[in-house]
Amino acid sequence: MTTWLGGPIGYYARLSASRWSPLAVVILVTTAMFVIGVIQKAPCHIEGWPRETGYAFSRLCYSDVAYLYRERGFAQGSIAYLDSGNYPALEYPVLTGLVMQITAWVTQAFGNGAAVAESVLFFDLTVVVLFLFALLAVWSLSRIAPHRPYDAMFFAAAPTLALAGTINWDLVAVALTACALLTWSRSRPFATGVLIGLGAAAKFYPLLLLGPLLVLALRSGKLRLWGVTMLSASAAWLAVNLPLIVLAQDSWKVFWSFNTGRDGDFGSIWYVLKLAEHPVPGVNAVSLGLFALACLGIASLAILAPRRPRLASLVFLTVAAFLLVNKVYSPQYVLWLLPFVALARPRWRDWAVWQVGELIYWVAIWLHLAGILAPANDAPDRLYWAAVGIRIAATLYLCAVVVRDILVPSADVVRERGLVDDPTGGPFDQAADARWCRRLLGARRPGRPPLQEGVTP
C-alpha cells in the first residue's frame, strides 16, 4: 500500500519513503553480504589464487572461479566443450558453461594475456555476474509473499551467501529456481517449466521441484498443470543442451560421467565413513536408494497430512533429503537451500541454528583440505568428521520443524492465524483436495479448514 502525503512536501516524502521499501532494504543487505564476501576472498585475490601451496585453503578464501579459468582452457582462448587440449574437459552443465564462456570472452577483451592476471579479472567479472543473479533471487523471493516481504532477508542476510556465493556458479541456478517459484505463485505453469528447465541446464537440482509439484497436483486434482510444467521444462532443457549433444556429444557427457563415476566425496557421510575405514560398497546405488525412500516418505506426508502442505515446505524437504544422502556436499551447496528456507521456515532462531552448522562445516572443510585439522601423527581427522555431523544435524533439525509445520498447520508461521494458505502455491492456493484424497483422508470438508471464529481475512 502506498501512503500519500499532502502539502508541498508530500511528493518528496513519498519518494523518500519508497527508498526504504522492503525490497530496497533486502537489496542493500544482499549488496553488503557480497561486499563482505569479496573482502573475505581478498588474500587469495592479492596472491592470484596460487594452486601449489594450499594457500587458498589455509586462508579460507578458496574459489573455483580463477582456477577453472586457468585449468579448463579458457586462458588459452579455447571454447568450452567445442575445443580440447592439454586440460580436462569442462565438467559443468551447459548453461553454466555458457556463462563461464561469455565471461571469459569479456575477460580476454580487457585482459593483458597473462594467465594469472586474467584469472583474477575473470573472478572479478564473475562476482558481478553472480551478484546480479543474487539480486534476481531476492527480488523474486520478496514478491512471492506480499504480506511477508522481509522473508527474503533470510536469503539476503545469510553469512553463507557472503562466504559461499562466489565459490562457484551455483547462484545462476538458485536465481532461476527462485524465479520459477515466483511464476508458479502467479499460476504460470508454462513459464515455471521453462525456468526449471533453464535452472536444470545450469545445475541438476532444480529438476527436483517437479516431484513436489506432482504430489500437490495429485492431491488437488490439477495434473494437467503439472503436465504443462513438465513438458515446458523438458523443452527448455533440451533447447539449451541439444546443440552440444549434436556438436560435441563426448564433451557434453563429461558432466554426467563425472558425477555418476564419483565416489563418496567431501562433505558427505559416505566420505566420513571412507575416512573412518568403513567404506560403503556401491555408494551410487545406496545413495540413490535412500533418496528414493526419502521422496516416498515426503510424498506420503504430503498426501496424508491433515491439510495440503505448502509447496515451499515440500521442495525444501526434497532438496534437503537430496543433499543429506548425496555423494558429495560442496560448501556452496548451502545456497541451494537458502530460498526454500526463506519460504518454508522463516524463523530467525531456526535459521540461525542451521547457519551456524553450515558455518562450522565451511571452516572445517578448508582446514581439512589444508591439513591443519589433522593431528601431527596422521591420526584420523575427527574434528572434520564432527563438523560434517554438525552440518547434517542442523539440516535435520530444519527438516524436523518443517515436518511439524506440515503435521500441525497452526505451527506454520506463514499460515499464521489461518489467514493465508500457500503464497507459493499458485493454482494450489486455496484449492480443495481431489475427491480420491478426501475419501482417503475421510475428510468431511474439502480443502482449507474454516477460519477461526471472528477472524476475517
End-to-end CA distance of the chain: 16
3 state SS for 40-82:
HCHHHHHHCCCCCCCHHHHCCCCCHHHHHHHHCCCCCCCCCCC
- Mean pLDDT, the chain, whole residue set: 91
Question: Which sign, positive or negative, has the C-alpha torsion 72, 116, 63, 58?
Answer: positive
What secondary structure letter does DSSP report for 309? P
Task: Give the Å distances, CA to CA, from 100 to 123, 145, 297, 433.
Answer: 10, 33, 38, 45
Between 293 and 53, the higher pLDDT residue: 293
What pTM does this model have?
0.91
The predicted structure's pLDDT at residue 147 = 83
Q: pLDDT-based confidence at 451, cuts 50/70/90?
A: very low
Distance CA 90, CA 251 (A): 7
Distance CA 258, CA 375 (A): 32
Task: Give the Å distances, CA to CA, from 422 to 52, 143, 216, 353, 403.
Answer: 51, 14, 12, 25, 16
Distance CA 332, CA 161 (A): 9
Question: Could you give the angle at the alpha carbon of 430 between the alpha carbons of 424 and 436, nearest 5°?
Answer: 110
The predicted structure's pLDDT at residue 57 = 95
Dihedral angle, C-alpha 404, 321, 317, 394, nearest 10 °: 60
The predicted structure's pLDDT at residue 376 = 58
Helices and strands, number each (H, E), in the chain: 21, 0
- Are 185 and 426 in contact by the 8 Å Cβ rule? The answer is yes
C-alpha cell at 352: 540461525
Question: Could you give the angle at the alpha carbon of 35 between the alpha carbons of 122 and 24, nearest 5°?
Answer: 115
The predicted structure's pLDDT at residue 262 = 86
- Are 111 and 118 in contact by the 8 Å Cβ rule? The answer is yes
Residue type, 373: L
Q: Report the pLDDT averaged over residues 242-250.
A: 95
- Are 336 and 149 in contact by the 8 Å Cβ rule? The answer is no
Model pLDDT for residues 328-372, shown as the tens digit of each residue: 999 999 999 999 999 999 999 999 999 999 999 999 999 999 988
Q: pLDDT-based confidence at 418, cuts 50/70/90?
A: low
Residue 179 DSSP SS3: helix
- Are 199 and 96 in contact by the 8 Å Cβ rule? The answer is no
| Residue 384: CB atoms within 10 Å | 22
Q: Report the pLDDT averaged over residues 90-115.
A: 96
Model pLDDT for residues 54-77, shown as the tens digit of each residue: 899 999 999 999 999 999 999 999
Q: Is the pLDDT of residue 456 over 80?
A: no
Question: Could you give the angle at the alpha carbon of 340 between the alpha carbons of 335 and 341, nearest 5°?
Answer: 85
Model pLDDT for residues 287-343, shown as the tens digit of each residue: 999 999 999 999 999 999 999 999 999 999 999 999 999 999 999 999 999 999 999
Residue 87 DSSP SS3: strand
β-bridge partners, 87: 85
If 0-12 CB within 10 Å is exposed, 13-18 middle and 19+ buried, where does residue 4 land? exposed
Q: In the block, which residue shows the cell 518443517?
A: 402
Between 436 and 395, the higher pLDDT residue: 395
Q: How many residues does the chain have?
A: 457
